[in-house]
Structure 1
Amino acid sequence: MTAPTTTTAASGPDRPPQPVPEPAGTGAVADSPRRDRLREAFRWGGLRLVALAVLLAAWQAVVSAEVWPRVLVPSPGDVWRQFVLASTVHDGVRGYGGHLLIEHLGVSLGRIGTGSAYAVLAGVPLGLLIGTVRPLAVVLEPAVTFLRTLPPLAYLSLLVIWFGIDEAPKIWLLVIAALPPIAAATAAAVRTVPGQLVEAARALGSGPTALLLSVRLPCALPEILTGVRIAVGVAYTSVVAAETINGVPGIGGMIRDAQRYNQTALVIAGILAIGLSGIVLDALLRLVERIAVPWRGRV
């Protein structure tokens, strides 16, 4: 008995080679990590929703039990109604103070963006100087620490005396609040650049400027971006203080004005708007960080 032979398709100039079929299950294996990530995202998202539901139920239970007067602790429904009223035109009234909630929030975000941008433009060079030039560090680092420890309300009155009650004191307050974290993070990052890289660049003929721009700054960029994220958060927490003076339109000014008339539900609605927009803003900054420094956490 002879063993069966396997015939293969002949290949030649008139017949191109047949493609090798992909092994069964390869596509499923490739899709498995993606499915795992989606499953994990849904699991953690579900956990967040459950936690939110528990928090709302506890809040409503406290209100129903009348632990505190309703004017002090409004119900979730009261807060939602104020949120809707501040976000729509009702009975001829446009939102709150003639501006919708999204407009108040947009004005505040514009102030935060402007103040943070000026802080980055000043804080990164300042941090580079502090981290690389020892005499300047001795002089400037205590000043940065001094500013970092000051609460915004401590110098708001002085800024109002200097710049009036328009936009200038608000922007200056946010700049002063956001600049120290950026400068401190930049200085610390520059100081931790590996000495081997610096010596190698010097051996290749890099001067001080090229060394700073091509070695120190790229190595320090991940920590600088972390400092920027922290600074934006500090600016966001300072916006209510910045808008206590002529802050309408502005989410901080709206909260301050509602507080004067004991509109607790509107105050809570404004606080929730700040927190939710802060989460979105931080997610955008994280995205920028992943794009700008994709090697972070991998080397």
Structure 2
Amino acid sequence: MKRKQEKTIERWITVGVVAAVFLLWYGITQFGIVSTVLVPTPKAVWNAFLDILQNGYKGYTLWQHLAASMQRLAIAFALVLVTAIPLGLLSGYNSKVRAFFEPIVEFYRPLPPLAYYTILVLWMGIGNVSKIALLFLAGFAPVYIACVSGVVRIREDYINGAKTLGASSRQIFFYVVFPVALSDIFTGVRTALGVEYTTLVAAEMVAAASGIGWLVLDASNYLRSDIIFFGVILMGITGILLDQIIRLAERTIVHWKGKS
């Protein structure tokens, strides 16, 4: 009961913060504190949304721009899941495998994605292939490292207990190592999704003809702050929804997390 009351209070705090930001935005534009060229009114942003929704932007509908971004993100994210999770778990379980992959990951992980994006563009062109490769590299490291960390921190007596009961290495991996590491895996997946999303927007700003990031950049060339604000708000909402999907999957799959 107490926890439910706390949740209700937390929701109202969240609603209050959003309302306060909106009122501050409205007040700034209503009283002319800042030029509407720099900060458009909420009504102007809403009208920009309706216009793009009805007429599209530069030859593409709003849904086509959004779909272009989500397609790039989804393909790269799927590739990360099917490669980084198995390799990360295997590296955590086997020190020799970790010794092979760790230097590569640790070398490129601190690099800003846009620093090596120019190389990918030279190799693969400015199409979707280079963007997907960039997103894959950006998302691979967080998931790989989280998987390795999740396996390494497993208490040795769990594994020894399973061996004592006659479990094979395969059974230990799937019934002990993997379930215990799931919480860390989802932490890495959430981090990777956020990194990929921010990298996607940056990649579209560098070389693209569609997508939400490109829409914002193109609007900035014409000082269309209403479209810029709309694009930024759309990015934020989309990012929150994507993160909520991952969190829902985590609560469903790792249902024992946080329970004694």
The aligned residue for residue 284 of structure 1 is 245
- State the partner residue of 1:75: 41
Q: Which residue of 2 aligns with 1:194?
A: 155
* In 2: Cα distance, 1:99 partner to 1:296 partner: 43
Q: Does 1:119 align with 2:80?
A: yes
1: distance between equivalents of 2:107 and 2:124? 22
Give the conservation status (yes or no) of the 8 Å contact 1:152–1:241. no
SS of aligned partner of 1:98: coil
Contact 1:127 1:182 in 2 (8 A): yes
Q: What are the equivalent positions in structure 2 for 1:1-299 lying under 5 Å apart?
A: 33=1, 37=4, 43-88=9-54, 94-299=55-260
Q: Which residue of 2 aligns with 1:20?
A: none
For residue 149 of structure 1, report the CA deviation from its aligned partner.
1.2
The alpha carbon displacement at 1:129 in A equals 2.8
Deviation at 1:294, TM superposition (A): 0.6
Larger radius of gyration: 1
1 CA distance for matches of 2:6 and 2:176? 38
Alpha-carbon deviation of 1:216? Answer: 0.8
Give the C-alpha shift of residue 125 in structure 1: 1.8
Residues 156-186 of structure 1: CA distance to partner in whole angstroms, max 9, x if unpaired? 1111111111110111011001000000000
Greater relative CO, 1 or 2 (CA 8 Å, sep 6+): 2
Shift of 1:51: 2.4
Q: What is the alpha-carbon distance in structure 2 between the residues aligned to residue 221 and residue 211 of structure 1?
A: 14
| Separation of aligned partners in 2, 1:246 and 1:144 | 26
Greater CA deviation, 132-141 or 162-171? 132-141
SS at match of 2:40: coil
SS at match of 2:109: helix
Q: Following the alignment from structure 1 to structure 2, what is the Cα–Cα distance between the partners of residues 45 and 249?
A: 36
- Structure 1 unaligned segments of length 5 or more: list them: 1-32, 89-93
Distance 1:76 1:194 in 2: 54
**Which deviates more, 194-203 or 168-177?**
194-203
CA distance in 2, matches of 1:132, 1:153: 32
204-213 or 75-84, which moves further after superposition?
A: 204-213
Please tell me whether the aligned partners of residues 165 and 245 of structure 1 are also in contact (alpha carbons under 8 angstroms). no
Question: Helix, strand or coil: the match of 2:205?
Answer: coil
Q: Mean alpha-carbon deviation: is it higher for 155-164 or for 120-129? A: 120-129
Deviation, 1:84, is 1.5
Shift of 1:262: 1.7
Deviation at 1:200, TM superposition (A): 1.7
Aligned to 1:3: none
CA distance in 1, matches of 2:116, 2:32: 40
User: Whole-Å Cα distance in 1 between the matches of residues 28 and 107 of structure 2?
Assistant: 43
- Equivalent AA in structure 1 for residue 41 of structure 2: S
Percent identical:
35
Specify the code of the residue in structure 2 equivalent to 1:204.
L
Aligned residues: 260
* Residues 128/259 of structure 1: CA separation in 2 closer, same or farther (3 Å cut): same
Relative to the length of structure 1, the TM-score reads: 0.80
CA separation of 1:266 and 1:293: change in aligned 2, threshold 3 A: same
Amino acid aligned to 2:29: V
Normalised by the length of structure 2, the TM-score is 0.91
Q: Which SS does the other structure have where 1:244 is aligned?
A: helix
Instruction: Write the distance in 2 (CA, Å) between the matches of 1:44 and 1:208.
Output: 45
Once structures 1 and 2 are overlaid, which stretch shifts more, 166-175 or 120-129? Answer: 120-129
